[in-house]
Amino acid sequence: MKPGHVERYLELRLFGEPTLVRDGVVVPLPASRKTRALLVYLALVGRPQRRDRLCELLWDIPDDPRAALRWSLSKLRAALGEQAHWIVADRERVSFVPDGGWIDVVAAREAAGIGTPAAALAVADQLIEPALLGLDLPSLDGWSVWLNAERAAHERLRAILLRRAAGAAVASPDRAARYVALADQADPSATDTPIGFEDEAKGLAIQQTIRYCRAPDGVRLAYACTGEGPPLVKAANWLGHLELDWSSPVWGRMYHELSDDRLLVRYDERGNGLSDWDCEDLSFDAFVRDLEVVVDHLGLERFPLMGISQGCAVSIEYACRHPERVTRLILIGGYAAGWRIAADPDTVAQREATITLVRHGWGQNNPAYRQIFSHTFFPSATAEEVDWFNDFQRRIASAENAARFLETFSRIDVRHRLGEVRQPTLVLHSRHDQRIPLEEGRTLAATIAGAELVTLDTDSHLPLGREVATNQLLDQVRRFLAD
């Protein structure tokens, strides 16, 4: 800045459509929706982003995405004017550093952290409209997943703040009634879960960094640690992707909330997600060794271990091999034996036909091949949730690996290990699970000494984030870990 130059005050408003305001006057943003999306993304993630990542997110084109990114950055600098230096870029990374500016979503998070009615009332009039309107880019799947997750998180924050503002003593009855009505539209369940303002702000601020370690056979394993506090390790399962899971409208909420007061450790299974897909060994023993590699790499000595679906069998095997390291077991939607172990000939024929279908159709753009999984995982999902899950499946693994996973899972058998488990164990299973019948969860709970079984009132294999069953699952996990 030149000596003696006075920089004018700039606001970035993200509730409603993104808007720049300088000294009370609206500054036109670039007409390009991708350029406005770029500004919003940089403002909300709050840390430098690789140019390649930004190109992948917003410019899914075969020509020159880096040139498109440079063009958008030039347009944003022009719109920012005197604050053009807020866009910080080098050859590899780009960030948005609003030095001295004001962003409404940041102010809302700060008000949530303060936790008083007065703090909520001070920002309430900024929360009249939902956040991040006018930014949809339906052809960009990664962007759509991120945007939907951010909208859901900010709608929850908006509802909580509006309800707290309505309760402020200085609010007039008409104003309070308006805030309550808006909160009901934003998230009617916001008061059903006992989450405080400070916790909500903390949850929105949690970010994940993905790193890698190597298994003994050279396979690179992607892992992420989120939150702070005592560790909670989640064993990997198929149908996982660290980045897409974290921003998922289906189960992202669970991972965010488990990171509120713990260091949540997650990793992608070999052959799947962000871990190496080109793997010679996709055996059950390899899955257990990968869990060993990740926790050893992180230097974790003792920790509770959580498994989902076939990750439950991996968790059981690890707990028996390393009883001194696992303090508690949480098993969600799990089973001890794959379908080949006791299947009749008709079941074998049907399952083998499914594997053949997967091998030849999984990677095709036509989602019909993956729909068979979507409706057994989430029979009551909305059309949008099914569409997301169909696309998610295609992006996390190759057709050949998907078929190999199904074959490996069919032969899992840890029944002989159940009597050896000595850790306190919580078994959670959906009451109407069509993927893994409830009887499998009952078998785990009945055979593991002292295990407790909690059934979840849903037909989803893993409860959807919007379901009441997710509240029940999270409450039970927190209660069990606190005992």
* 420 and 471 share one domain: yes
- For residues 174-181, give the mean pLDDT: 86
Q: How far is CA 187 from CA 102, 157, 192, 469, 472, in A?
A: 25, 9, 10, 16, 18
Please give the pLDDT value at position 190. Answer: 55
* 309 and 293 share one domain: yes
- For residues 198-213, give the mean pLDDT: 61
* 84 and 216 share one domain: no
Task: Tell me the per-residue pLDDT of 392-444, one tens digit each, with 9 for 90 and over.
Answer: 888 888 889 999 999 999 999 999 999 999 999 999 999 999 889 999 999 99
Please give the pLDDT value at position 170. Answer: 64
Final residue in a domain of this structure, among 205, 235, 268: 205
**Tokens matching residue 340:** 């080949």
* 342 and 284 share one domain: yes
Final residue in a domain of this structure, among 205, 222, 239: 205
* 401 and 458 share one domain: yes
Which range has the top average pLDDT, 200-209, 338-347, 466-475? 466-475
Please give the pLDDT value at position 351. Answer: 82
* 289 and 434 share one domain: yes
Please give the pLDDT value at position 138. Answer: 82
Percent of the chain with pLDDT over 90: 50
**Residue 270 is part of a domain; what is its CATH number?**
3.40.50.1820
* 285 and 244 share one domain: yes
Q: How many domains does the chain contain in total?
A: 2
Q: If DSSP codes are grouped into helix, strand and coil, which group holds residue 384?
A: helix
- For residues 139-156, give the mean pLDDT: 78
Is pLDDT of 468 > 70? yes
- For residues 200-229, give the mean pLDDT: 78
Among 232-236, 324-328, 351-355, 436-440, the minimum mean pLDDT is found in 351-355
Give the mean pLDDT of the chain.
87
Q: Is 240 exposed, middle or buried (0-12, 13-18, 19+ CB in 10 A)?
A: buried
Instruction: Using alpha carbons only, give the angle 196, 198, 199 rounded to the nearest 5 degrees.
Output: 65
Q: Which residue has the higher pLDDT, 195 or 278?
A: 278
* 200 and 221 share one domain: no
**Residue 200 is part of a domain; what is its CATH number?**
1.10.10.10
Is pLDDT of 379 > 50? yes
Question: With bands split at pLDDT 50, 70 and 90, how would you rate the model's confidence at 196?
Answer: very low
Is pLDDT of 445 > 80? yes
* 248 and 123 share one domain: no
Is pLDDT of 271 > 80? yes
- For residues 70-86, give the mean pLDDT: 94
Is pLDDT of 472 > 90? yes
Question: With bands split at pLDDT 50, 70 and 90, how would you rate the model's confidence at 456?
Answer: very high
Is the distance from CB of 297 to CB of 289 less than 8 angstroms?
no
Please give the pLDDT value at position 429. Answer: 98
* 317 and 219 share one domain: yes
Question: What's the CA gap between 142 and 128, in Å, rounded?
Answer: 28
Is pLDDT of 2 > 70? no
Q: Which residue has the higher pLDDT, 22 or 249?
A: 22
Please give the pLDDT value at position 168. Answer: 78
Q: Which residue has the higher pLDDT, 204 or 124?
A: 124
Is the distance from CB of 176 to CB of 167 less than 8 angstroms?
yes
Long-range contacts of the stretch 325-328 (C-beta < 8 A, 24+): 325/295, 325/300, 325/301, 326/302, 326/423, 327/302, 327/303, 327/423, 327/424, 328/304, 328/423, 328/424, 328/425, 328/426, 328/480, 328/481
* 345 and 421 share one domain: yes
Question: What's the CA gap between 474 and 312, in Å, rounded?
Answer: 17
- For residues 373-395, give the mean pLDDT: 83
Among 69-73, 138-142, 303-307, 343-347, the minimum mean pLDDT is found in 138-142
Q: What share of the chain is helix, strand, coil (3-state, %, to 5)?
A: 50, 15, 35
**Tokens matching residue 406:** 């199904």
Please give the pLDDT value at position 106. Answer: 85
pTM score: 0.61
Is the distance from CB of 90 to CB of 70 less than 8 angstroms?
no
Question: What's the CA gap between 242 and 244, in Å, rounded?
Answer: 6
Torsion over CA: 16, 18, 24, 29 (sign): negative
Please give the pLDDT value at position 338. Answer: 94
Closest listed residue to residue 389, CA positions, set 252, 279, 207, 187 = 252
Please give the pLDDT value at position 156. Answer: 81
Among 145-149, 163-167, 272-276, 351-355, the minimum mean pLDDT is found in 145-149
Task: Tell me the per-residue pLDDT of 79-124, one tens digit each, with 9 for 90 and over.
Answer: 999 899 999 999 889 999 988 888 998 888 888 777 778 888 888 8
**Tokens matching residue 197:** 């303002």
Please give the pLDDT value at position 477. Answer: 97
* Beta strand pairing call for 87-89 and 93-96: antiparallel
Domain housing 352:
212-482
Among 352-366, 398-412, 467-481, the minimum mean pLDDT is found in 352-366
* 187 and 251 share one domain: no
**Going by C-beta distance under 8 Å and a sequence separation of 6 or more, which residues neighbour residue 193?**
471
Final residue in a domain of this structure, among 205, 235, 254: 205
Question: What's the CA gap between 256 and 152, in Å, rounded?
Answer: 12
Order of all β-strands in the sheet with 102-103: 25-27, 19-22, 10-13, 102-103
Q: How far is CA 209 from CA 122, 152, 178, 284, 415, in A?
A: 33, 21, 40, 27, 36
> Cα dihedral angle (301, 473, 318, 227), rounded to 10 degrees?
-30
